[in-house]
Chains A and B, each alone.
Chain A
């Protein structure tokens, strides 16, 4: 018996071996028209690194560039100071970081779309769109039966989502009720319980879909910001098997025991 898959999982999740993903072949696009009001299928980011997003939200990376500097409210600034990430311009040593997901707390939403986005299966029922994520084997339900978002929702790790078709190829989901303990992305961007997220899934043709996502949290940010701007996905054959990538504290302990001394050296 080999335990290779699970060991690989943890290395990938923690160490982000970017070179492995840098040369993704371009997809052979099937430009056949997409079925209407239908996102069903297995979808994978065209460029794997764009799904992994190690430096924060793909279209707002924490790279120190002025155009990626988010304008935090005073409350947001205080909140941000409490997040110690080992990624981004304000990175700390791994031994000093406090990323809750690195301790295997649920990553939550919207981070599920902003870190380790890999092959994702979308199912539709009469009243739901269901997403099956690779990372942590998490499912999400987006209600499509016309219900509204709750006005004063209890916090949930993955929030509460409703969605509707705005045209035959565009599905828009709104989410609130997220848990303020989670981080927005891998760089430790914070959010409050007032966060509202809009996802726009646009199916271009049979083989291509793009996802945009906007973060609106007036308690933390002075204005809404775009975390994903048309992240490209390609359709995968129906028999594709999703990998199993689960966060495991026992594996993390083992990893830290073996490699912590190297990880604690500042770059």
Chain B
């Protein structure tokens, strides 16, 4: 049962909070001062699955959410066939690599099924443990720079630093252009640079803003998440297990394929 639920959620059918101001969701801010330069803990984002794309830039057909592609980006975008968004294709015609259980990679980890996430700081790095995919990311905080000509990795290469006592900024490059940016198939190239800004508002809350800069694909940088609120959970909180399983997908498609292949 649990696994079946995970499968449904993984395919993006949970309601999401696109269009709402994340800062207005959830309980009032506690106002209790946050520790300095510390985002250790288990944090729950007040956001949904982002089934129709990055929460601050959903693929909903509205002009203000229309991304301006370069000619190269436009060609890339045409190859990505998503079953979500205004250009949705029938489920049988889609080619979302993550639906076949390829790693969804970064930055999609921020833009699809972003759920409760644990942060662990060490003297050299900050480690993020994600619920979806049960994968981790390592963010180096020892002062190293991003690699100049990185090999591609599913989850990229990340470095981070504190810009003030409550703001932690992560820069990532070296991502793998086989992955999609979000659930609607926005593409990216190997030149993608992602900036995540975690700003701790008080002891119990922080906000995340994510900006993508990929001049090979997009005419200008764009904001995928804007001030998404995370609330601090008790230290004993157990993260759910949400893993993509080709064998479960095959069973799901066998049972329900006939009902999902209609546009």
Chain A residues close to B by CB (< 8 Å) = 1-6, 40, 100, 103-106, 123, 125-127, 130, 132, 136-139, 141, 145, 147, 154, 156-158, 181, 238-239, 241-242, 244, 246, 248-251
Contact = CB atoms under 8 A, between A and B. Distances in A.
B120 interface: yes
A29 B231 CA distance: 44
Contact of A5 (B152, B235, B246): B152
B2 interface: yes
Interface string B94-131: 00010011110000000000000000101010010100
Nearest to A5: B151
B152 A156 contact: no
A139 B235 contact: no
Interface in B106-163: 120, 122, 124, 127, 129, 134-136, 138, 142, 151-155
B100 to A, nearest CB: 5
Given A1-B152, A6-B152, A250-B178, A239 B142 contact: yes
Contact of A139 (B134, B154, B238): B134
Interface of A is mostly: loop
Interface residues of B, number: 36
B247 A138 contact: no
B50 to A, nearest CB: 21
A210 to B, nearest CB: 23
Contacts of A250: 97, 100, 102, 178
A106 B133 CA distance: 9
A126 B235 contact: yes
Contacts of B103: 137, 246, 248
A244 B102 contact: no
A147 B237 CA distance: 12
A262 to B, nearest CB: 23
B247 A125 contact: no
Given A4-B151, A181-B247, A248-B102, A125 B120 contact: yes
A138 B134 contact: yes
14 contacts: A2-B152, A5-B152, A123-B127, A130-B120, A132-B127, A138-B134, A138-B135, A139-B135, A156-B241, A158-B241, A241-B138, A244-B155, A248-B103, A249-B246
